[in-house]
A and B are shown apart, each in its own frame.
Chain A
Amino acid sequence: MSQADDTPEEDPEPSVEPMGVDYDALEDLLGDAVVGRETHLNADGFVVRADRVEESLSALKEEAGFDHLSAVTGQEYEDRFESIYHLKKYNDPTEEVSVVVPTSRDDPVSQSASSVFKTAEWHEREAYDLVGVQYDEHPDLRRILLPETWQGHPLGRDYNQNKPQIVTFEENKNPLQGKFEDEESDTMFLNIGPHHPATHGVLHLETVLDGEQVADVEPDIGYLHRCEEQMAQNGNYRYQIMPYPDRWDYASAGLLNEWAYARTAEDLNDIEVPEYAQVIRTMGAELCRIASHMLALGTFCLDIYGEFTAIFMYAMRDRENVQKLLEDLTGQRMMFNYFRLGGVVWDIPEPRETFFDNVRDFLDELPSRLEEYHDLITDNELFQLRCIDTGVLDAETAKDFGVTGPIARASGVDYDLRRDDPYGYYEHLDWDVVTESGGDNYSRLLVRMREVEQSARIIEQCVDLLEDWPEDDREVQSNVPRTLNPEADRETYRAVEGAKGELGVYIRSDGTGKPARFKIRSPCFSNLQALPAMSNGEYIPDLIATLGSLDIILGEVDR
Chain B
Amino acid sequence: MSTLPVTISELLGYGATPPLWMEVLSALLGAAFIATVLLTLSAVAGPWAKRKITAAFTDRIAVSKVGPFGLFIIVADAVRLLSKERIVPEGVDRPAWDLAPFLLPFSALLGFAVIPMGNGIQLADPEVGIAFVFAVSSLSVLGIVAGGYASSNKYSFLGSMRAVAESIAYEIPLVITAASVVLLAGSLQVSEIVAAQSETLAVVAGVHIPMWFGFVNPFAFALFVVANLAEVGRNPFDLADAPSELVAGYQTEYSSVYFVLFYLGEFLHIFLGGAIIATLFLGGPAGPWLPGIVWFIAKIWAVFLFTQWCRSAVPRIRVDQLIEIGWKGMLVLSFANLVLTAVIVGVIA
* A182-223 interface with B by 8 A CB criterion: 188, 190, 196-198, 212
**Nearest CB of A to B185, in Å:** 33
Say yes or no: B58 contacts A312, CB within 8 Å: yes
Cα(A436)–Cα(B317), bound, Å: 24
List the B side residues contacting A463 at CB < 8 Å: none
Closest A residue by C-beta to B241: A306
Say yes or no: B158 contacts A540, CB within 8 Å: yes
Cα(A36)–Cα(B58), bound, Å: 62
Closest B residue by C-beta to A195: B247
Candidates B57, B235, B319; contact of A539 at CB < 8 Å: B319
A312-B58, A313-B58 known; A197 vs B244 contact (CB < 8 Å):
yes
Which segment of B25-33, B41-49, B215-223, B308-316 sits at the interface? B308-316
**Nearest CB of A to B16, in Å:** 48
- Contact string, B227-257, partner A, CB cutoff 8 A, digits 1/0? 0000000011010001111110000000000
Q: Say if the beta carbon of B59 comes within 8 Å of chain A.
A: yes
| Complex A-B, nearest 8 residue pairs according to Cβ-Cβ distance, in ascending order | A313-B58, A310-B58, A310-B312, A198-B244, A383-B315, A307-B243, A308-B311, A304-B315
Cα(A376)–Cα(B246), bound, Å: 24
Say yes or no: B316 contacts A305, CB within 8 Å: yes
Candidates A188, A382, A542, A544; contact of B314 at CB < 8 Å: A382
Interface of A, secondary structure class, is: helix
A212-B319, A310-B59, A542-B318 known; A376 vs B244 contact (CB < 8 Å):
no
Cα(A380)–Cα(B155), bound, Å: 28
List the A side residues contacting B311 at CB < 8 Å: 306, 308-309
Say yes or no: A314 contacts B58, CB within 8 Å: yes
Size of the chain B interface, CB-CB below 8 angstroms: 30
**Nearest CB of A to B159, in Å:** 11
Size of the chain A interface, CB-CB below 8 angstroms: 31
Q: Say if the beta carbon of A286 comes within 8 Å of chain B.
A: no
List the A side residues contacting B315 at CB < 8 Å: 301, 304-305, 309, 380, 382-383, 386
* B152-177 interface with A by 8 A CB criterion: 154-155, 158, 162
Cα(A539)–Cα(B246), bound, Å: 12
Interface of B, secondary structure class, is: loop
**Nearest CB of B to A309, in Å:** 6
Say yes or no: A541 contacts B316, CB within 8 Å: yes
Q: Say if the beta carbon of A317 comes within 8 Å of chain B.
A: yes
Give 8 CB contacts A-B under 8 Å: A190-B155, A212-B162, A307-B243, A308-B311, A308-B312, A310-B57, A313-B59, A540-B245
Say yes or no: A302 contacts B244, CB within 8 Å: yes
* Residue with the highest number of chain B CB atoms closer than 10 Å, among A302, A314, A386, A542: A386
Q: Say if the beta carbon of A166 comes within 8 Å of chain B.
A: no
Say yes or no: A309 contacts B58, CB within 8 Å: yes
- Contact string, A529-548, partner B, CB cutoff 8 A, digits 1/0? 00000000001111010000
Say yes or no: B54 contacts A306, CB within 8 Å: no
Say yes or no: B320 contacts A544, CB within 8 Å: no
* Residue with the highest number of chain A CB atoms closer than 10 Å, among B54, B60, B154, B316: B316
* Residue with the highest number of chain A CB atoms closer than 10 Å, among B57, B59, B235, B245: B245
Cα(A188)–Cα(B243), bound, Å: 20
Candidates A306, A310, A312, A380; contact of B242 at CB < 8 Å: A306
Q: Say if the beta carbon of A126 comes within 8 Å of chain B.
A: no
List the B side residues contacting A308 at CB < 8 Å: 54, 57-58, 235, 308, 311-312
Q: Say if the beta carbon of B321 comes within 8 Å of chain A.
A: yes
Q: Say if the beta carbon of A385 comes within 8 Å of chain B.
A: yes
* A248-289 interface with B by 8 A CB criterion: none
